[in-house]
Amino acid sequence: VPQIIREYHQRASRSLQKQYDNGRSDIVFELADHYYAAGALFVEKTYTISISAAFASLGSYNYKQAFIYLNRARECGKLCGRYKHWNITNENSKKKNQNTNWIGKFLNRGTWSNEEILIACNYAHTTGMEETYIANLAEQFYENLPENEPKESRLKILMATTLALYDAQKFESSQKYAEVLIDISYTPMQKAAGLQLKGLSLSPKENRANRVSALEEAFKIILDIENRSMSEERFHGRILDSLGREYTAVEGKKEKGLELLEKRIELNKKKNLGDMLGMAMTYGSIGRYYLYNTLNVGKARESFKSDFDITIELNDIEGQSQMFSLLGECDVKAVSYTHLTLPTTPYV
């Protein structure tokens, strides 16, 4: 019976592979599952497609599923000799994660592959969970990459590490790695990403001008890219958000900041970019603009509600908490406005 079952999965995987090769990317999970059940003859193909399925899971923010596919890739990669991993030697990173659920089990490992680190960093960035722990892992992983690591994969790890350090509020480290990213980048988008992270890592109180300058330079670079790819358009959206938020804190540029934030919303809808986390941040920034700079509490509440709805879908507990607080501020401000004496004639 086991052999008959394996043969069924082998036939199914061959059929699905043809469809997948012809552009049916939507069947990647079904294909990965059939290959995994097809037996030892398919371990190398299972390794490759499981990695693809893991990254495809990020599109729906299904991290538990992504880590399941990564574990399959690790299992099959070891069997076929394809699993490439590095030890984490730093004592801070070797401390066990105290989380006892599925993510804690995934994080408590002594060896990591490039794909595992990239998806762990994505998890921390999107959910706001385990940020410090994962940032420490990523930093040590990057520092232990071999000298002959291919340039493209090194840049990917560097970008993910820099963002993870920024998310963990390790701003000195994220600024340092952002400057490295700027120096070794070989595409305009990589340089723009480095400038964005460098700018955001600078203190808004002490280095506002330098923050704005770095973000403006990143914005100019991305605008100069012709026929932008989907990934470049997503980054375009993130730059619109970062520079827009920065402008809303600068006197004389607040309205320009709101304009950039609204352009980001339009871009995401027009191009169907699907950057839900980025959209949540932009809606939150628009809400703060209206709450703190205008009397339009209704518009602020509407924007915070849009942010909140996304945090529910992403299971972003920290984001939900922030939106509860800001929606509460809207209610307080709305009540206080009801006691104001309105002018009998309109403002000129």
User: Which tens digits make up the pLDDT trace of 156-165?
Assistant: 999 999 999 9
pLDDT band at 225 (very low <50, low <70, confident <90, very high): very high
The dihedral formed by the CA atoms of 279, 313, 273 and 150, expressed in degrees to the nearest 10: 100
Alpha carbon distance 177, 154 (integer Å): 12
SS3 label, residue 111: strand
Distance CA 339, CA 336 (A): 6
Mean pLDDT of 167-173: 97
pLDDT one-digit tens code per residue, 291-319: 999 999 999 999 999 999 999 988 888 89
**What was the pLDDT predicted at 347?**
28
Rounded Cα–Cα distance for residues 232 and 245 (Å):
20
Burial class from Cβ neighbours inside 10 Å (0-12, 13-18, 19+) for residue 218 reads buried
Give the amino acid at 87: N
Q: What is the mean pLDDT of residues 248-274?
A: 95
Q: Which residues of 189-211 are buried (b: 16+ CB within 10 A; e: fewer)?
A: bbbbbbbbbbbbbbeeeeeeeeb
SS3 assignment, position 243: helix
- Do 71 and 51 form a contact (C-beta atoms < 8 A)? no
Q: What is the mean pLDDT of residues 12-37?
A: 95
Instruction: Give the number of other CB atoms < 10 A from CB of residue 62.
Output: 15
Whole-angstrom distance, CA of residue 201 vs CA of residue 175:
5
* 8 A C-beta contact, residue 235 and residue 225: no
> How far is the C-alpha of 154 from the C-alpha of 167, rounded, in Å?
20
Percent helix, percent strand, percent coil in the chain, to nearest 5: 75, 0, 25
Q: What is the 3-state secondary structure (H, E, C) of 287-325?
A: HHHHHHHCCCHHHHHHHHHHHHHHHHHHCCHHHHHHHHH
Which amino acid, residue 235?
Answer: F
* Per-residue pLDDT at 343: 43
pLDDT tens, 41-66? 899 999 999 999 999 999 889 999 99
The helix or strand, by DSSP H or E, that contains position 162, with its residue range, turns out to be helix 151-167
d(CA 268, CA 237): 7
Tokens, residue 14:
């061959």
pLDDT digits (tens, 9 = 90+) for 70-99: 999 999 999 999 998 887 754 555 566 666
Q: At 339, is the pLDDT very low, low, confident or very high (cuts 50, 70, 90)?
A: low
| Closest C-alpha among 175, 263, 256, 257 to residue 211 | 175
Residues 318-334: tens digit of each pLDDT? 899 999 999 999 999 98
